[in-house]
């Protein structure tokens, strides 16, 4: 599947696109973790394409350094990932995801329906896709900093599915309680907590990967996407 270039208002940036065997198909903007559009994200796009979605993961670090592809397997890479996270402009990142959403919707291999799915940093951005864009649905895996964004929750008008790890080292219990309280009763939000799980429990090959929890979360995600994006 190809690497493509997307033209945005601030410049052009790269993206990985995986297209299913049968098109046109619903589109999915895949929001990366802090490691760039690496093999993990490409594998997720390929998995989603296998499930019938045109999945596109844009390089949202391009303003800092284009083409970042690092892993979670060394201390040096973790340090670089956190450095990128610190330099990253969230608002500009959402703009890039909006541009990618429009690109997907305009492609002949997309039905015009499109949502987003994101992990870690991307989980935060998927939440913001729900508050700031007209994406048809959104899925957030262990998003970071969501307790600071609850003031935008009233803008969510399309289905949002959230996966939260109860032992997430980057989202302490008090933040989780604030998120649950702030979103309680919201008609468009479904939030699942995965007891005993740490951050990135669905990252295949990661330190905290849990196959059973990942399978449960991924199954819920696919059901959510099918309900929201089916023609």
Domain that holds residue 201: 3-229
Q: What are the tens digits of pLDDT across the range 172-188?
A: 999 999 999 999 999 99
How many independent structural domains does the chain possess?
1
Exactly one of 59, 163, 198, 199 is catalytic; name it: 199
Of the chain, the percentage scoring pLDDT greater than 90 comes to 98
**Residue 177 CB-half CA count within 13 A:** 3
Instruction: Specify whether 163 is catalytic.
Output: no
Instruction: Specify whether 210 is catalytic.
Output: no
Cα–Cα nearest to 225, from 30, 41, 4, 34: 30
Exactly one of 168, 208, 210, 224 is catalytic; name it: 168
Contact 54, 28 (CB under 8 A): yes
pLDDT at residue 231 above 90? no
Q: Give the predicted TM-score (pTM) of the model.
A: 0.97
Domain harbouring 200, CATH code: 3.40.50.1820
Q: What are the tens digits of pLDDT across the range 135-172?
A: 999 999 999 999 999 999 999 999 999 999 999 999 99
């Amino acid at each position: 599947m190809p690497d493509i270039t997307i033209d945005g208002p601030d410049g052009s940036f790269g993206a990985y696109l995986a297209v299913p065997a049968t098109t046109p198909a619903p589109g999915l903007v895949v929001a990366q973790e802090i490691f760039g559009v690496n093999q993990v994200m490409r594998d997720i796009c390929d998995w989603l394409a296998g499930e019938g979605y045109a999945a596109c993961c844009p390089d949202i670090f391009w303003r800092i350094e284009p083409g970042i592809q690092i892993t979670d397997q060394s201390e040096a890479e973790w340090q670089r990932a956190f450095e990128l996270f610190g330099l990253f402009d969230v608002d500009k990142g959402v703009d890039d995801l909006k541009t990618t959403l429009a690109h997907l919707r305009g492609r002949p291999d997309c039905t015009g329906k499109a949502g987003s799915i994101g992990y870690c940093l991307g989980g935060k951005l998927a939440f913001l896709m729900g508050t700031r864009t007209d994406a048809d649905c959104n899925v957030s895996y262990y998003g970071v900093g969501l307790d600071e964004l609850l003031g935008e929750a009233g803008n969510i008008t399309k289905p949002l599915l959230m996966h939260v790890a109860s032992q997430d080292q980057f989202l302490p219990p008090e933040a989780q309680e604030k998120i649950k309280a702030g979103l309680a009763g919201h008609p468009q939000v479904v939030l699942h907590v995965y007891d005993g799980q740490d951050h990135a429990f669905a990252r295949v090959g990661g330190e905290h990967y849990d196959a059973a929890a990942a399978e449960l979360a991924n199954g819920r995600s696919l059901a959510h996407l099918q309900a929201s994006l089916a023609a």
